[in-house]
């Protein structure tokens, strides 16, 4: 039995359009309605036939939904939810895809008093954005972390979990605050570092922009991929999850100082030990199927 019969997706960018495509492929009998505040995005989604219907307003989109998934920047969750609050069916479940969970849960609960809110975070994505960037297999063999509030209805949690399993994801349940600390170090801090490194390179007056681009070795090139992610989304992530990000940033700064000291004093043993430990982390990621070991990340060199 399918967990939901009518799904509404609010926000039709990379993640929202991928959810829509995945539902259409994995659960073809489920009715999918989409909505986006941008009229151009709605037109594109309609042209691409990502959903069965593309509504002209948030209220119209949710009016008969079993499940509503907000795929908008985390800073906009509360305001967007307020747009459809009056039209939300009493028995509908509201979820999201944001990478910050504690603040999102508070914002959705405040905007939708009495509604069943079961936040979730599919840990998947690319540096591209917009409805044309989505694809149905984005969530296959990726983790989706479901973060129900304390005292949440167990049946509702299971329905949301089963929904993501049907899209090919591995599902984990986690407390919202714990999720935010984990993602601060595995996702948010790496993005912050990437933005900083790429920004530093672009600011160096003695290295021209053409040289930075022309001589981009593998490391810098991969940082630029991360740094090309959606600016609005990541601005909101850092502001919404600021406490956990600042905590992890402090830890990183301390570790960086240790590394700086090892280089300054020629402590090769300390460097070798660190690099050995980090290499083992990479092996573990590959062994758990979160990446493959293709040379140069699977790039072709023809």
Least confident among 131-135, 163-167, 223-227: 223-227
Q: Are residues 88 and 186 in the same domain?
A: no
Residue 286 lies in a domain: no
Confidence of residue 298 (pLDDT cuts 50, 70, 90): very low
What local confidence, expressed as pLDDT, does residue 297 receive? 47
**Residue 36 maps to which CATH number?**
3.40.50.720
What local confidence, expressed as pLDDT, does residue 128 receive? 79
Residue 279 lies in a domain: no
Q: Are residues 80 and 133 in the same domain?
A: yes
Residue 210 sits in which domain range? 178-266
Q: What are the two backbone dihedrals, phi and then psi, of residue 169, each rounded to the nearest 5 degrees?
A: -85, 155
> What is the spatial distance between Cα 133 and Cα 46, in angstroms, rounded to a whole number?
15
Count CB-CB contacts under 10 A for residue 125: 20
- Which distant-in-sequence residues (6+ apart) come within 8 Å of 117 by Cβ? 93, 94, 95, 105, 108, 109, 149
Confidence of residue 4 (pLDDT cuts 50, 70, 90): very high
> Tens digits of per-residue pLDDT, 181-198?
988 888 888 888 888 888
**Residue 249 maps to which CATH number?**
1.10.3660.10
Confidence of residue 229 (pLDDT cuts 50, 70, 90): confident
**pLDDT tops 80 at residue 92:** yes
Q: Are residues 156 and 235 in the same domain?
A: no
Angle at 115 between CA 177 and CA 37, to 5 degrees: 85
What local confidence, expressed as pLDDT, does residue 125 receive? 77
Residue 118 lies in a domain: yes
What local confidence, expressed as pLDDT, does residue 215 receive? 63
What local confidence, expressed as pLDDT, does residue 28 receive? 95
Q: What are the two backbone dihedrals, phi and then psi, of residue 93, each rounded to the nearest 5 degrees?
A: -105, 135
| Residue 302 CB-half CA count within 13 A | 2
What local confidence, expressed as pLDDT, does residue 208 receive? 59
Can you name the residues that pair with 95 across neighbouring β-strands? Answer: 69
Q: Are residues 42 and 130 in the same domain?
A: yes
Q: What is the mean pLDDT of residues 57-80?
A: 95
| Mean pLDDT score of the chain | 88
State which of 174, 196, 212 marks the end of a domain: 174
State which of 124, 154, 174 marks the end of a domain: 174
Q: Are residues 36 and 114 in the same domain?
A: yes
| Lookup: tokens for 212 | 């930075």
What local confidence, expressed as pLDDT, does residue 64 receive? 95
| Lookup: tokens for 215 | 């001589």
Confidence of residue 296 (pLDDT cuts 50, 70, 90): very low
Least confident among 14-28, 108-122, 272-286: 272-286
Residue 278 lies in a domain: no
Q: Are residues 80 and 224 in the same domain?
A: no
What local confidence, expressed as pLDDT, does residue 214 receive? 66
**pLDDT tops 50 at residue 302:** no
What local confidence, expressed as pLDDT, does residue 197 receive? 81
Q: Are residues 128 and 60 in the same domain?
A: yes
Q: Are 174 and 149 in contact (CB under 8 A)?
A: no
Residue 280 lies in a domain: no
Residue 291 lies in a domain: no
**pLDDT tops 70 at residue 74:** yes
Q: What is the mean pLDDT of residues 211-229?
A: 72
Q: Are residues 80 and 154 in the same domain?
A: yes
Q: Which residue, among 58, 122, 70, has the nearest Cα to 96 in the 3D structure?
A: 70
Q: Are residues 40 and 61 in the same domain?
A: yes
pTM for the structure as a whole? 0.80
Domains of the chain: total: 2
State which of 116, 147, 174 marks the end of a domain: 174
Confidence of residue 299 (pLDDT cuts 50, 70, 90): very low
What local confidence, expressed as pLDDT, does residue 3 receive? 95
Q: Which residue, among 74, 278, 93, has the nearest Cα to 176 in the 3D structure?
A: 74
Q: Are residues 202 and 107 in the same domain?
A: no
Confidence of residue 1 (pLDDT cuts 50, 70, 90): confident
Q: Are residues 160 and 261 in the same domain?
A: no
Can you name the residues that pair with 69 across neighbouring β-strands? Answer: 9, 95
Q: What is the mean pLDDT of residues 252-278?
A: 90
Residue 260 lies in a domain: yes
Count CB-CB contacts under 10 A for residue 156: 19
Q: Are residues 156 and 183 in the same domain?
A: no
Residue 302 lies in a domain: no
Place of tokens 């407390």: 175
| DSSP, residue by residue, the chain | --S-SEEEEE--SHHHHHHHHHHHHH-TTSEEEEE-S-HHHHHHHHHHT-SSEE-SSHHHHHTT-SEEEE-S-GGGHHHHHHHHGGG--TT-EEEE--S--HHHHHHHHHHSTT-EE--EEE----S--SGGG--TTTTTT-EEEE-PPTT--HHHHHHHHHHHHHTT-EEEE--HHHHHHHHIIIIIHHHHHHHHHHHHHHH-TTS-HHHHHHT--HHHHHHHHHHTS-HHHHHHHHHHTHHHHHHHHHHHHHHHHHHHHHHHTT-HHHHHHHHHHHHHHHHHHHHTTSS---GGGG----
């Amino acid at each position: 039995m399918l967990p939901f019969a009518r799904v509404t997706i609010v926000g039709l960018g990379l993640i929202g359009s991928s959810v829509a495509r995945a539902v259409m492929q994995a659960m073809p009998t489920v009715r999918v309605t989409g909505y986006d505040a941008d009229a151009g995005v709605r037109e594109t989604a309609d042209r691409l036939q990502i959903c069965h219907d593309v509504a002209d307003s948030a209220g119209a989109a949710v009016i008969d939904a079993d499940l509503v998934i907000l795929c908008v920047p985390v800073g906009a969750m509360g305001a967007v939810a307020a747009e459809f609050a009056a039209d939300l069916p009493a028995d509908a479940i509201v979820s999201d895809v944001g990478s910050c969970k504690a603040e999102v849960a508070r914002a959705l609960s405040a905007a939708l008093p009495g509604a069943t809110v079961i936040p979730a975070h599919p840990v998947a994505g690319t540096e591209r954005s917009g409805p044309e960037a989505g694809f149905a297999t984005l969530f296959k063999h990726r983790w989706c972390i479901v973060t129900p509030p304390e005292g949440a209805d167990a049946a509702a949690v299971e329905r949301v979990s089963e929904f993501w399993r049907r899209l090919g994801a591995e599902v984990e349940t986690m407390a919202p605050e714990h999720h935010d600390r984990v993602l601060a170090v595995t996702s948010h801090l790496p993005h912050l570092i990437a933005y900083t490194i790429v920004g530093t390179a672009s600011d160096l007056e003695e290295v021209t922009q053409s040289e930075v681009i022309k001589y981009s070795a593998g490391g810098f090139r991969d940082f630029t991929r991360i740094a090309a992610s959606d600016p609005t989304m990541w601005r909101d992530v850092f502001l919404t999850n600021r406490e956990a990000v600042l905590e992890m940033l402090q830890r990183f700064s301390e570790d960086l100082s240790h590394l700086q000291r090892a280089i300054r004093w020629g402590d090769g043993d300390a460097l070798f030990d660190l690099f050995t430990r980090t290499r083992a982390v990479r092996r573990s990621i590959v062994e758990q199927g979160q990446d493959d070991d293709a040379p140069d990340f699977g790039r072709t060199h023809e």
